[in-house]
Structure 1
Amino acid sequence: MPQTRHLPVNARRALVAVAPPLLAAVVVLSVFLSLRDRLPGRMATHIGPGGEADGFSGQGAFLAVALAVLLGDAVLFGGLTHWIRTTPGVQRVIAVTGGAAAVLTGWLVVAVLLANADADNAASVTLPGLQAVLAFGAAAAYATVGWFACGRVEESETVAGPSVGTALLPLGDAETASWSRVTGSRVLPLTGMLVLTAGLVVGITTGWLPAVPLLVTGVPLALLTGARITADRRGITVTPTLAPWPRLNVPLERIAEAGHRPVNPVRDFGGWGYRARPGASGIVLRSGDALSARLTTGSEFVVTVDDAATAAALLNALADRERRSPAGG
């Protein structure tokens, strides 16, 4: 529709996330009401891999759960789309994911309702595998359309938030100085332990082969969640506290100016850990103050760490001395 082009980009992305679950909820409710008299009191609500029913519930319970899932999808992904509006690339992915998930869910719920219609015995209900193929196909089609409907990420959307400038740390021409702090995350260790626990449960109950991805993912999440941040003549160096690698270094000659600013992991970068988005990247382990370096390429590198102002002042002093030296031009 021509009017859609005039919607603000954030409104378009919110619509991509919220419209499918709300529309799917209306369709599910309408189909349920139209078939209510033809549905068995005890419905087949889960279809196994062979296409035969292996889970059952009452009509009201099934409808309540289906509507709760769809409305929850709208609230969750709509809220995230609004909250992460300062990270447009992540916002676009979240909006499309929420909409596609609702299309998939709504399709399967309606298919289950239609399969139960006029069934004398819920145990005899079957659902062809083609319905799952069609559901995933519809979700993929919506994801493609939604991706383009979200609009391109404009350059103006990717500019990092302003950092607070800092004065140069008093430093003589012959003096050397180094600043170092340890920073960590509360979210990542908990996530890692949950993933490891899930891996152990899967390994014990179903076998260790399917548990390998969970275990491999959980170990680094649980262990590599703290980092030592160093600012010195080498620039910014980030090293895991429990391992000597992987080490990340931003050389001093690449730093045009250093400052500090508040960072919210989800809103600004879409999550925790090493993050990258158009115009900015960095190590984001928690919310709060962050060392912010504007690089010579025009992009920003951030590290969430306490006392970031002191690190920025030292880097500015070192960079200024480097530029004033004969070797620095």
Structure 2
Amino acid sequence: MPLSRSSSVLVRRLAVSVVPPLVCAAVVLWVFLSVRDRLPGRIASHIGPGGNADGFSGQGSFLGVAWGVLLGDGVLFGALVYFTRPGNGGQRVLAVIGGAVAVLTGWLATAVLLANTGVHDASSVTLPGAQAALAFGAAALYAAVGWAACGKDEGADSDSGPSADASRLALGDSEIAGWSRVAGSRVLPLTGVLVFASGVVVGVAAGWLSALSLFLIGAAMTLLTGVRVTADRRGLTVTPSTVPWPRINVPLQRIAEAGHRPVKPLRDFGGWGYRVRSGASGVVLRSGDAISVRLTTGSEFVVTVDDAATAAALLNTLADRERRTSAGG
């Protein structure tokens, strides 16, 4: 039975993300077995910015780490591609990133093994900067080929946009109303803690300056994982629950219709946080109900939050009032 177009695209994208880690793992193992007798007992496993060895490990440890990174890359990005909904651009990007990272890792691991071959003192191992340039070049080339192999995304999903019933709240012309809720994420704080912990490991191994970016990202992800969502005369506003910035506001003049619909972060938007995909953007912190605003430009803005139906109904009422006021009614 022939595959449908969507199934065929998924198979291609899985291949783009999973095949390079498997092939690179096989190549690294083959090179390792080929040169093992000519490797020093302790090999240079890390090459510093100047091209000189500054990190060392046993032969088995080096192979285990290289295989762990490559196979972990295949499992991680293969799962992300499989569970991400096609048609939003995220699936294609994830597939290409997974394959390109594997090519980069496999090239560098192989180059390091060959640089250690025939060397008696691992501290004398050097690796020309050209090897790094070639590795990144190979990854970029694969990314371009993989992008084409993934195939184009289809149009926007049929379930994107507000639900059919664009309800309203009964408000008099002079009445003022507002709605506000706090929404949070369970995934982002955990991820932030893991990133911060990775910074500690990198800091101990390679210096605290190298870990600065991980500390900043981890702290931001841990602290800024809750948002306050407000619907009132200013439109739809989203701000972090702990600090007043950054702030996202969709004014009433830009709202064509508001509704609510279920959202799954990974499938619909390729991840958590502030997300942008073809035809849609939004703040997606968890799975579940979300305010879905169709903008006057035709695109969609979503926010995952409880009681989304009430907020959508209020926004519709306020937007209708704003249009009547602008028209002089």
1:165-199 Cα shifts (integer Å, max 9, x gaps):
35333334554432222223344455556667777
CA distance in 2, matches of 1:218, 1:25: 30
Flag the 1:135–1:295 CA change in 2: closer, same or farther, 3 A.
same
State the match for 1:100 in structure 2: 100
1:220-263 Cα shifts (integer Å, max 9, x gaps):
54554433222234332223333444433223343232221222
Flag the 1:8–1:206 CA change in 2: closer, same or farther, 3 A.
closer
1:299-326 Cα shifts (integer Å, max 9, x gaps):
1111111111111222233445556779
- The answer as to whether partners of 2:161 and 2:294 remain within 8 angstroms in 1 is no
Secondary structure at 1:291's aligned position in 2?
strand
Q: Is 2:257 the counterpart of 1:257?
A: yes
Flag the 1:251–1:140 CA change in 2: closer, same or farther, 3 A.
same
- The answer as to whether partners of 1:158 and 1:279 remain within 8 angstroms in 2 is no
Flag the 1:13–1:161 CA change in 2: closer, same or farther, 3 A.
farther
TM-score, structure 2 normalization = 0.80
State the match for 2:267 in structure 1: 267
State the 1:217 CA deviation: 4.9
State the match for 2:151 in structure 1: 151
- The answer as to whether partners of 1:87 and 1:277 remain within 8 angstroms in 2 is no
**Counterpart mapping for 1:167-246 below 5 A:** 167-189=167-189, 213=213, 217=217, 220-246=220-246
Flag the 1:128–1:158 CA change in 2: closer, same or farther, 3 A.
farther
CA distance in 1, matches of 2:280, 2:190: 26
- The answer as to whether partners of 2:171 and 2:317 remain within 8 angstroms in 1 is yes
State the 1:285 CA deviation: 2.7
- The answer as to whether partners of 2:87 and 2:156 remain within 8 angstroms in 1 is no
State the match for 1:31 in structure 2: 31
Flag the 1:223–1:164 CA change in 2: closer, same or farther, 3 A.
farther
State the 1:202 CA deviation: 8.3
- The answer as to whether partners of 1:164 and 1:261 remain within 8 angstroms in 2 is no
Q: Which deviates the most, 224-233 or 200-209?
A: 200-209
CA distance in 2, matches of 1:43, 1:197: 27
Secondary structure at 1:154's aligned position in 2?
coil
CA distance in 1, matches of 2:314, 2:79: 40
State the match for 1:296 in structure 2: 296
1:110-137 Cα shifts (integer Å, max 9, x gaps):
2222233333444444333332222222
**Counterpart mapping for 1:76-95 below 5 A:** 76-86=76-86, 88-95=88-95
Flag the 1:116–1:193 CA change in 2: closer, same or farther, 3 A.
closer
1:148 aligned partner, one-letter code: A
CA distance in 2, matches of 1:163, 1:271: 22
Name the Cα RMSD after superposition. Answer: 3.6
Secondary structure at 1:112's aligned position in 2?
helix
State the 1:21 CA deviation: 1.0
Taking every aligned residue pair, what percent have the same amino acid on both sides? 69
State the match for 2:14 in structure 1: 14
Structure 1 residue ranges without an equivalent (≥5): none
CA distance in 2, matches of 1:327, 1:238: 28
1:119 aligned partner, one-letter code: V
Q: Which deviates the most, 201-210 or 160-169?
A: 201-210
CA distance in 2, matches of 1:192, 1:221: 5
State the match for 1:139 in structure 2: 139
CA distance in 2, matches of 1:30, 1:317: 67
**Counterpart mapping for 1:158-169 below 5 A:** 160=160, 163=163, 165=165, 167-169=167-169
1:1-50 Cα shifts (integer Å, max 9, x gaps):
xxxx9983332222221121111112122222333343344433333444
- The answer as to whether partners of 1:179 and 1:230 remain within 8 angstroms in 2 is yes
- The answer as to whether partners of 2:228 and 2:238 remain within 8 angstroms in 1 is yes
CA distance in 2, matches of 1:62, 1:205: 16
Flag the 1:159–1:12 CA change in 2: closer, same or farther, 3 A.
farther
- The answer as to whether partners of 1:86 and 1:158 remain within 8 angstroms in 2 is no
TM-score, structure 1 normalization = 0.80
- The answer as to whether partners of 1:45 and 1:55 remain within 8 angstroms in 2 is yes
CA distance in 2, matches of 1:94, 1:117: 35
CA distance in 2, matches of 1:184, 1:165: 26
Q: Which deviates the most, 138-147 or 193-202?
A: 193-202
- The answer as to whether partners of 1:165 and 1:260 remain within 8 angstroms in 2 is no
Structure 2 residue ranges without an equivalent (≥5): none
CA distance in 1, matches of 2:271, 2:122: 44
